[in-house]
Chains A and B, each alone.
Chain A
């Protein structure tokens, strides 16, 4: 059964990593803990659901809808809320609180629009195939989830490591001021980052929605907690750390649910996080892109 568990863990972990990637990207570049990321994730899964059920469109259109809706939402948050706060030089606590407000609006809005009850993708939308390798049942859906998550993450890594845009982003992460003085369009890249991070979050929302086949207005909160755990583990603002941390959390969760009956596993997990922060604030795997004030 261990192989089966590992597959489940890989599926879950890759989605966590994808979610945390956007979360950590915003922290690394904008230096904001964006607590609306969970709600944006939830909106993404609803966007796909609406496209698939109301318009009876194929699932890939659902993904595109999620990307656009979540991405534009992220962009709107940056332009309408975070940008004025940056212009004012508000202390870091303030944008975080503003994003709490956004999360409340989105969650409550989704509850009003779609109701509080859980919703599912209709039969036939999900990729159905299933096959067996040795003892392990592999669903096409799981393969698709892992493939999409890793493809997106690989694309992001390459973009950040290899392109001019990525170099500019890394420069901003080190020091927005220096980047600005070097002629980098810092504000523009903040917008791009916000869009990309939110779009990744939205896609992660669809993937989780498909994996558990359950969508609700409240699905953003638990994953936000996990996102926080992942970026603490991987180092805040560290992209590689988010990947490793996400996979690690997926494995830890599946293994502890499979082998530890009690939910005490969560307490141990957060207890460990607490200790990690005390001992190594930069996370287990990563280096913090620390800003010089």
Chain B
């Protein structure tokens, strides 16, 4: 038995090692794919790791572990250096740029003396033991599994689905992408170092375009909707050529056929958790929500922030901790329902803002103030530039002239995610929820910047980390149950009706704990009962001291709701005042209301 095992091991150990290393590589590209980035740089990162680690042990006699670590850090440094400019590219352009980077790396290695040129490096110490690979693979899988379930993992998914919406939920998209890219480089570098120290020999040929494509293929073949997928893909593609030896020269063709068939018939890869579950016929029922205490009845604790119910001061403990830093949190402790902030205080000041696209002037000399504790309406005919105002306020567009300040702070050049963190949240005219995420996750994305724990806390699942996640989950459920969406909390947002999608977007915006809420046509597509409910809720939000800034077409809604209204026509403000003043303003009637046949 032991003899047999010994034979088996001596024949197949290299193959088994390779399965592990390829597993690491597939996981390294999974990270970038999880953010929706197609980066083909990982073969080059592996090569950098392999050469650095091998040179350190071979030429400088470094201990293996130190060389391996340095081999992981070197590609990370490179990734950090090229990441910022490269990751601005999207889709195919990113793939091409990373491909070009890979070629540069390969050709440089091919032509340097220290790397042995095309002959490669020979005589690398055989230092890698099976348990090195097993331990590193285990740590990586565990770490990535933790990451997936954290706010970072949710942010990745949000970025993958809708980068703009993710930015406006307070997610620093560039940093998250860079993090995925660099962490992927670390894992690929580790794989390279491990690989170099059991193959004895490395050459530039092993880190070229084909290898980059192989790594991608493993991940996609296995499926990227879970961490098991890339491992399955790596195992399959490593073992298959061995199993198909009898096909000689044609065996490569089988790889190709399998790849094509999987792409055609198993779109989510071989290992798709949903399909596997269906196979096992396990009914995956949602987590019972009653245990959260919501249960359709009176919302617990923090829900009170949103409903001006008299009992609102009762339970603020859970959320109080979460919200301690925000004005909203302080307001909610007041509990009386009366605004804390003085009404006349200006929240958002827009002064002389102009915006042109090319030669087209969309906004001209627009000025108005949105006061705290007020509902401010911006109306105007289609194409008047209303949504452009929102895009400028939220930092998606920079004004061509003029200034915007929020609570006295000039917003010029402030990144969208930072503006969200300052306390401005918005909804979109054409709903932009994250359709492939559950309702709960959607709302939790809104809390991204309020959840704060470090990578170590995440990895070791410290109480701080677990509590933060639990609080966020509870808070998200409160928001959902306030909007009567709690029954669907674990459903994919894609399955929601139109009106419910609007509500979800509303909940998500509130989850960012805004001081000023921008609503872009919030009642579009809602029936009158829903409109009435929403109107009440918006008033409640106002009464809590928030500023609310609404763009709307529905005149009855606007006139009934807003404290102040500005009218935008052809990029200019033509009137501003109370609903009554606007109703009777001849310019407005001519430009807008006249056409509507109102009042």
By a beta-carbon cutoff of 8 Å, the part of chain A in contact with chain B is 27, 33, 35, 81, 84-85, 88, 90, 92-94, 96-98, 100-109, 111-112, 115-116, 221, 225, 228-229, 232, 236, 262-264, 266-267, 270-271, 273-274, 277-278, 281
Q: Which 3 A-B pairs have the closest CB atoms?
A: A108-B252, A104-B256, A101-B259
- A270 B100 Cβ-Cβ under 8 A: yes
- A109 B259 Cβ-Cβ under 8 A: no
Query: How distant is the Cα of A259 from the Cα of B249 in the complex, in angstroms?
Result: 39
A101 with B100, Cβ < 8 A, contacts A264-B111, A277-B93 known: no
Contact with A along B307-330 (1 / 0, CB 8 A): 000000000000000000000000
A217 CB, min distance to chain B CBs, angstroms: 9
A-chain residues with CB within 8 Å of residue B464 when the two chains form the complex: none
- A93 B220 Cβ-Cβ under 8 A: yes
- A101 B260 Cβ-Cβ under 8 A: yes
Query: How distant is the Cα of A100 from the Cα of B579 in the complex, in angstroms?
Result: 63
B592 is an interface residue with CB less than 8 A from chain A: no
Interface pairs (6), CB distance under 8 Å: A96-B95, A102-B260, A105-B256, A112-B253, A221-B210, A264-B111
B-chain residues with CB within 8 Å of residue A111 when the two chains form the complex: 249-250, 252
A114 CB, min distance to chain B CBs, angstroms: 10
- Name B250's contact: one of A85, A112, A228, A274 (CB within 8 Å): A112
* Nearest B residue to A95, CB-CB: B263
Query: How distant is the Cα of A225 from the Cα of B210 in the complex, in angstroms?
Result: 11
A235 CB, min distance to chain B CBs, angstroms: 11
A-chain residues with CB within 8 Å of residue B367 when the two chains form the complex: none
A-chain residues with CB within 8 Å of residue B101 when the two chains form the complex: 270, 274
- A97 B217 Cβ-Cβ under 8 A: yes
| Most chain A beta carbons < 10 A, residue from B104, B209, B213 | B104
- B111 A225 Cβ-Cβ under 8 A: no
- B92 A236 Cβ-Cβ under 8 A: yes
- B264 A84 Cβ-Cβ under 8 A: yes
A33 with B95, Cβ < 8 A, contacts A97-B220, A107-B252, A270-B104 known: yes
A284 CB, min distance to chain B CBs, angstroms: 14
A98 with B259, Cβ < 8 A, contacts A92-B92, A281-B93 known: yes
- Name A81's contact: one of B86, B110, B264 (CB within 8 Å): B264
A278 with B257, Cβ < 8 A, contacts A88-B267, A232-B96 known: no
Query: How distant is the Cα of A93 from the Cα of B98 in the complex, in angstroms?
Result: 14
A-chain residues with CB within 8 Å of residue B251 when the two chains form the complex: 108
- Name B92's contact: one of A33, A106, A115, A262 (CB within 8 Å): A33
B286 is an interface residue with CB less than 8 A from chain A: no
- Name B263's contact: one of A98, A109, A278 (CB within 8 Å): A98
* Nearest A residue to B248, CB-CB: A112
Query: How distant is the Cα of A225 from the Cα of B208 in the complex, in angstroms?
Result: 11
A-chain residues with CB within 8 Å of residue B97 when the two chains form the complex: 274, 277-278
